[in-house]
Chains A and B, each alone.
Chain A
């Protein structure tokens, strides 16, 4: 299983555009490549069944293994100006998070395989280690006497004089705690060696292994590095002392070969050298930026106000931006291809005939082409956020959360063992810090079909239903809305979401507001939507960033002082905490999560209001959705309710409300200021999902179901059920050109 994995270079395509498919095969010599239109990805016995149609056969392709280089580092390419030419010193400030967990490189211009060059490391006993090698067999090192502590800022100065062999390592804690990091100064006379560094790159947080193929780097460092500098000459005691105190005197300034300032260029990957030679470098695999540095004292929380408090970069041995695989094949979207969800299907041949991989992409209408009246929103940024999630194998609380013993699926066991595929913003790095960035230039299990019915796969319940009920629709994607704003939405009478449109960038949010203001209609068929703000890299649309500030249902919380996105400088967290609660946009907002059983809705008095009665045409009885392939109820997993105090419009009609949720539903943190025994689904006063309808200006309208499990009930009994009928009634009316009239009492 998973012997074939791959990814697409882009997810949103128009006719005439080409998608490149990159694949890696684990001992699969040949595979067949097809392009399929995906209708439903859910192959669970209780679901609608897996559905796809082949639209192009691309033939057989030779499989090959393509390796991955995981782990972030800084790279300054070889330059003669880096040559020290004699005595030299290294100065930097560090915050190690996993000292003692194997040897870790802080800063090196070295090839350990050849014992060449020089570098400063943390050894496997957590001691600083200066290494020198002449590349001809001459090798010397100096280890500090005291170990570096974890989670403490330290200033370090280390130096070596090839002429005399004199070497030193000095370290001192920066500030903060009564029992601070131990100070140390170790001096020794080592062998007199000339470090063989000519032609070598300078690296931070990792060092070249000497391997020609990936992974080429080794000795990854976990932790923060700030203000690294390379200096020429033998430093006087007073110079070392000044550097240990975080200052630099004029004499020492003249020694600077290079000094990198990580407070500059915060939103990108450049490492800016403020020294005389402009030896700028780049960060590889996206270590975390906009993190607090040694100067941070709690007086600044916004890095854009004073970047000097954020002059550190946090490196992790499990950061990954881009697998960088070679392209296996391409597919150019033909002019007549209907908008929809497609995938490259890679099927193993020979002894691995059962292996298959599908790599989805979204075909959207060409600019100026005819449009359907309905668009399905593919929540591509949410799919990226779920990426390769490990919380079920890494988080000890998952059994409590689900109310079940942990049952791991084969794909979860695979992901657990294959950490080289990178993580998701639901995970913590190996050092326990939260994952902020997620890239799609790698195989993403959140995009797999025949998999957990969640994220992309869960949303195919909606496309399956659209197909089964015969509605004509186009696809729009988060990428289109983020890039194009209102223009991506305005051709459509109605936008239909999937089960979980959770992540919204500021541009996307603004576009949704404008769309509704001008009369656009929105059907929010999910739960926990419009929840987190995220940011998109300014130059790399394949990477998103999430900061989980203050509150919200989350698996890790943003560290103090780090709530502002590095990509945009925007404050992160819940839209509710940003003064824009989802209740103001879609009538409902997250109230609770629970993963044992779903429940049903009961029709409310507002359902008989003439403004909404048409929604129930053909629906008998008061109980809605007491079925479904997720938890046996249409109201489940993550649920939203109306809250007029948070912006649900005054004229909104609450036409149905769920009830009888279990004890394993618990209010989201933002719904309760403090915890107490009655915040569960059985006992809480307000732990339910609301179905809401209201009219919007200029003929628009809004319909929201407030539950992730709603789409999983659509296919029940051959799509002949009250969830399907209600959804159909609303979509038929929302797609119609006839305007909705705002009620006379709207706004009162």
Chain B
């Protein structure tokens, strides 16, 4: 499994700036690592109103348990929800604080 390094922090801004289709190999490697998680307790994005609003929620600890919204924030752009989720995953899996000043968090 890929081990996140200090230099990976510089890739986070690319996630916000560059369309997904054109992400660098290094960023893709980092994102793959941030996606390796069990489903139990995983934080995911949920659609609140189709094509209009999204929220973050935590999966249950067992199959079939309802997701629990992380907070009462509603995102009107999917990209904003993804950005906040990226921050949470980064901090969880890298053990490093999310770099300050990387852009609007939505």
Contacts and interface: CB of A to CB of B under 8 A. Distances in A.
Interface of A: 44-45, 390, 393-396, 399-400, 403-410, 413, 416-417, 419, 430, 596-597, 662-663
A138 to B, nearest CB: 37
Given A396-B39, A417-B64, A407 B46 contact: yes
A410 B53 CA distance: 12
Contacts of B86: 405
16 contacts: A396-B39, A400-B32, A405-B35, A405-B82, A406-B44, A407-B45, A407-B81, A408-B44, A408-B57, A410-B50, A413-B67, A417-B64, A417-B65, A417-B66, A419-B63, A596-B20
Contacts of A390: 63
A394 B63 contact: yes
Contact of B42 (A45, A406, A410, A662): A406
A400 B46 contact: no
Interface string B8-39: 00000000000011000000100110011111
B50 to A, nearest CB: 7
Contacts of B70: none
Among all A-B residue pairs, the 8 with the closest Cβ atoms? A399-B35, A406-B44, A407-B45, A419-B64, A409-B47, A408-B46, A396-B39, A417-B66
Contacts of A400: 32, 35-36
A396 B82 contact: no
A396 B38 contact: yes
Interface in B41-74: 42, 44-47, 50-51, 54, 57, 59, 63-67
Given A405-B35, A407-B46, A413-B46, A430 B51 contact: no
Nearest to A45: B51
B44 A405 contact: yes
Interface in B62-96: 63-67, 78, 81-82, 85-86
Interface of B: 20-21, 28, 31-32, 35-39, 42, 44-47, 50-51, 54, 57, 59, 63-67, 78, 81-82, 85-86
Given A396-B39, A403-B20, A597-B20, 10 more contacts: A396-B37, A399-B35, A403-B28, A405-B86, A408-B44, A408-B47, A413-B46, A417-B65, A417-B66, A430-B63
Nearest to A660: B21
Contacts of B32: 400
Contacts of B51: 44-45
Nearest to B20: A596
B35 A408 contact: no
Contacts of B63: 390, 393-394, 416, 419, 430
Contacts of B28: 403, 663
A408 B45 contact: yes
Given A407-B54, A413-B66, A662 B45 contact: no
B38 A407 contact: no
Contacts of B78: 407
Nearest to B66: A417
B92 to A, nearest CB: 13
A662 B64 contact: no
B64 A416 contact: yes
A68 to B, nearest CB: 14
Contacts of B57: 408
A682 to B, nearest CB: 9
A275 B35 CA distance: 56
Nearest to B31: A403
Max chain B Cβ within 10 angstroms of own Cβ: one of A394, A399, A410: A399
Given A399-B35, A400-B35, A408-B67, A393 B59 contact: yes
A405 B67 CA distance: 16
A393 B63 CA distance: 8
Contacts of A395: 39
Nearest to A420: B64
A409 B44 contact: no
A405 B47 CA distance: 13
A430 B63 CA distance: 8
A596 B22 CA distance: 12
Contacts of B54: 407
B55 to A, nearest CB: 10
B18 to A, nearest CB: 14
A406 B56 CA distance: 10
B69 to A, nearest CB: 11
